[in-house]
């Protein structure tokens, strides 16, 4: 069992399931952030509620950290293994391989950098605030690291577009790895993948643009 876990296929299955869990987290995260459109009072109430179930949120966050670590470590290990096996070359000729497949590891690295900036400014700031503070105002702050700041907003949009490309390729790989024995397999994959790689990232970008253009204020 342990041996299977660390085999090439075992590692791919780990990447697939952790990736899928992260995509589901993103869907929840988008819904939380869409509350910004309903105004300061609702958004602050939602954050206050999350603070009131602090212990539960902490457990979920610990799970999320574990999932991210498993995803990243297995992705790096698989990349190194593949490179060694192919003696530095890809099994498919580089110019025929899908672009996102070749750049998966690099887009993954930029996403990781985005994660660090995002958590340092939003998550960390929220942790330091008391329950009755104005969280909505922090979301719109015009300072580096916050979305009222145009260069930060532009960096977020670039990172989210990379996330979209990463998700698009990732979804195709997930279903190749875990398989799907349904009759309408290809259609299901296509529509499900579309929700994740197109609709969720678009939702985040709409929020950022709405902050930048003063629609959320
Ligand atoms: C419009 C874009 C986004 C906004 C406004 C936003 C907002 C926030 C805020 C306010 C927090 C702190 C929540 C808290 O501590 O209660 C947070 C945490 C977090 N965000 Fe985002 N986020 C955005 C996009 C993203 C994206 C694209 C990702 C992933 C690729 C992401 C991943 C995370 C993670 C992992 C956390 C920490 C987990 C948590 O405590 O919920 N966020 N985000």
Spacing, Cα 50 to ligand 1 middle (Å): 13
Number of structural domains (the chain) is 1
Rounded Cα gap, residues 210 and 37, in angstroms: 9
Radius of gyration over every alpha carbon of the chain, rounded to an integer in angstroms: 19
Q: At a CB cut-off of 8 Å and minimum separation 6, what does 177 contact?
A: 9, 12, 13, 15, 16
What is this structure's pTM?
Answer: 0.86
- Whether 217 is covered by a domain: the verdict is no
* Per-residue pLDDT at 84 exceeds 90: no
Residue 193 is assigned to a structural domain of this protein: yes
**Residue 19, domain CATH:** 1.20.1300.10
Domain interval for residue 11: 2-212
Q: What is the mean pLDDT of residues 19-26?
A: 92
Taking CA atoms only, the protein residue closest to ligand 1 atom 18 is 123
Nearest C-alpha to atom 24 of ligand 1 is from which residue?
A: 204
105 occurs within a structural domain:
yes
State how far the alpha carbon of 155 is from the alpha carbons of 12, 16, 159, in Å. Answer: 30, 27, 6
pLDDT the model gives residue 217 = 93
Given a contact cutoff of 8 angstroms between Cβ atoms, the answer to whether 151 and 143 are in contact is no
């Amino acid at each position: 069992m342990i041996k299977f876990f660390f085999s090439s296929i075992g590692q791919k299955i780990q990447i697939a399931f952790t990736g899928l869990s992260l995509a589901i987290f993103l869907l929840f995260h988008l819904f939380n952030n869409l509350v910004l459109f309903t105004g300061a009072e609702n958004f602050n109430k939602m954050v206050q509620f999350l603070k009131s179930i602090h212990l539960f949120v902490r457990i979920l966050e610990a799970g999320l950290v574990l999932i991210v670590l498993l995803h990243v470590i297995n992705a790096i290990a698989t990349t190194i293994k593949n490179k060694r096996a192919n003696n530095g070359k890809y099994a498919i000729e580089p110019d025929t391989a899908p672009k996102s497949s070749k750049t998966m590891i690099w887009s993954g690295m930029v996403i990781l950098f985005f994660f660090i900036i995002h958590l340092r400014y939003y998550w960390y700031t929220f942790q330091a605030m008391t329950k009755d503070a104005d969280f909505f105002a922090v979301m719109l702050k015009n300072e580096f690291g916050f979305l009222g700041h145009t260069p930060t907003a532009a960096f977020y949009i670039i990172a989210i577009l990379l996330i979209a490309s990463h998700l698009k390729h990732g979804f195709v790989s997930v279903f190749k790895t875990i398989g799907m024995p349904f009759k309408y397999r290809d259609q299901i994959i296509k529509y499900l993948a579309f929700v994740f790689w197109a609709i969720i990232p678009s939702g985040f970008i709409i929020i950022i643009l709405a902050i930048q253009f003063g629609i959320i204020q």
